[in-house]
Chain A
Amino acid sequence: MIIAEIKHLEEVKQMLEGYGKVLNVGCGGCVAVCLAGGQKEVDTLNTQLTASLRTDGEATQIDGFTVERQCEVPFLAELDEMVEQYDALLSMACGAGIQFLAERYPHKPVFPGVNSVFVGVNKDVGWYEQRCKCCGECVLATTAGICPVTMCAKSLFNGPCGGPQDGHCEVDKDTPCAWIQICERLTAQGRLDNILEVHGPREWEGQTQSSLVLEQYKHRYAKDEGE
């Protein structure tokens, strides 16, 4: 899921200075699961902001409302009637949700309450770790489920560099070398010949905005031939 990290109070406070009524919109999706932008975080942040702004002499009213997900139109539609009475919106969703919210209400300033940091997993309570960089060309089939883009500091595709010491990356002695791990796991699975396959240079897509339409739904849309 998408892991986000709540922004520090000072930064959010600065964004909201001067706005009389703000709606803090939470999200029940990824950000709620990783304890960054769910209902509880919305309430907590509202308390802190109201008190902190008051000490600066700002009488800001901050209300909160959490929707199921901010990346889906039917769930955002719930907010339509509410939004008009506010001067600005603060969104605790991931970057995608914040932008979708801003797109739906282009006449209202929409501010981000969190930093979206990575696609990752929940290792333990309150501990999240990156596993994927959305490169668009997954090679996990050949690397025994260990991502060389994410887990290797240099994102190498054809085996380790000359740097590992004691199985650890030369960049950080606490980080295991991804390729050594890949080789160990491939060996355990009897698939070590995978590393004989040479991966050529990549397209490295994802540098501009990506879009994806599924085959079975393409009939719903008129094609925009574009560039």
Chain B
Amino acid sequence: MYDLVFGPLMWLTTLIFIGGVGYRAYQLVQLTKKKDRARCPATAIREDSPEERKFRPIVRLQNSVLGQHPIMAIVSFVFHVCLFAVPVLCLGHNETLYQFWGICFFSLPDALINIMTIIVLVGGLFFFLRRMAVPRVRAVSSTYDHLILLITIAPFMTGFFAYHQWGDPRTMIIIHALTGQLMLISIPFTKLGHMVFFFFARCLLGSEFSFGRGAREWAT
């Protein structure tokens, strides 16, 4: 079982994940088109007055997601940082990667990884409770959303258990690997695809909310 999970299934997962994410990125490029930078008359530009310039930083903060939804913004940000950092920078993964493929990233201390994993789990709990308890979130939720959250949290939970040797380590590692693989292959095909969509839409597409110039636009 171990050999299956860490062998062919790992290859398959990598293929589907990279292929899928790549395809999503390609799709986004295909569905959008480049927009040349237009010239606007210099006289048309409305400059801030001195008083307005004074308040510009406060206004930007107030209008940002941090200003509008501080708790959600902070929890989500910290959750996502840990979500990415833990799998990439944990010693266990780097050891395994090195063992199988001869490559690895640098590793953070286990104590830190432990804390970050707990942050991910607490974040997951926060999102779960929010989706259950807050009426407006319930209004746009269904089983699918809870399932996706479960798929996301499962690898972190089982990884935590495996590291702390709760339960049979060998079984736990296999479940951890399977749930991790499930999560990875879900990314291109579910709402977890916001991993790709977010960067493309907010950085490359022009809108009231784009970071930077936003030199692309939807083609249809």
The answer, yes or no, to whether A174 is at the interface (CB within 8 Å) is yes
Interface 9-mer from A3-11, A76-84, A132-140, A187-195: A3-11
Shortest distance from the beta carbon of A64 to any chain B beta carbon, whole Å: 13
A124 lies within 8 A of B38 (CB): yes
Smallest Cβ-Cβ distance to B39: which chain A residue: A174
Contact A44-B59, Cβ < 8 Å, known A5-B46, A124-B38, A125-B214: yes
Partner of B38, one of A35, A123, A174: A123
Interface 9-mer from A46-54, A149-157, A163-171, A197-205: A46-54
The answer, yes or no, to whether A43 is at the interface (CB within 8 Å) is yes
Contact with A along B27-49 (1 / 0, CB 8 A): 00000000000101100101001
The answer, yes or no, to whether A13 is at the interface (CB within 8 Å) is yes
The interface centre, meaning the residue of B52, B208, B210 with most chain A CB atoms within 10 A of its CB, is: B52
Q: How many residues of B contact A (CB 8 A)?
A: 19
Chain A, 36-62, CB within 8 A of any chain B CB: 40, 43-44, 47-48, 51-52
Contact with B along A126-147 (1 / 0, CB 8 A): 1100000000000000000000
The interface centre, meaning the residue of A10, A52, A124 with most chain B CB atoms within 10 A of its CB, is: A124
Shortest distance from the beta carbon of A130 to any chain B beta carbon, whole Å: 10
A35 lies within 8 A of B59 (CB): no
The answer, yes or no, to whether B51 is at the interface (CB within 8 Å) is yes
The answer, yes or no, to whether B78 is at the interface (CB within 8 Å) is no
In the bound assembly, the distance between CA atoms of A125 and B55 in angstroms comes to 22
Contact A124-B206, Cβ < 8 Å, known A5-B46, A9-B52, A174-B41: yes
Shortest distance from the beta carbon of B141 to any chain A beta carbon, whole Å: 26
Shortest distance from the beta carbon of B167 to any chain A beta carbon, whole Å: 51
Contact with B along A97-137 (1 / 0, CB 8 A): 00000000000000000000000000111110000000000
Q: Inside 8 A of B44's CB, which chain A residues have their CB?
A: 127
Contact A47-B49, Cβ < 8 Å, known A52-B55, A123-B38, A125-B208: no
Partner of A48, one of B50, B52, B207: B52
Q: Inside 8 A of A174's CB, which chain B residues have their CB?
A: 41
9 A-B contacts, Cβ less than 8 Å apart?
A9-B52, A35-B208, A44-B59, A47-B59, A48-B51, A48-B58, A51-B58, A125-B208, A127-B38
* 17 additional A-B residue pairs with CB within 8 Å, beyond A8-B51, A10-B51, A48-B55: A5-B46, A8-B49, A8-B52, A9-B51, A9-B52, A13-B51, A40-B63, A44-B59, A44-B63, A47-B55, A47-B62, A48-B51, A52-B51, A126-B208, A127-B38, A127-B40, A174-B41
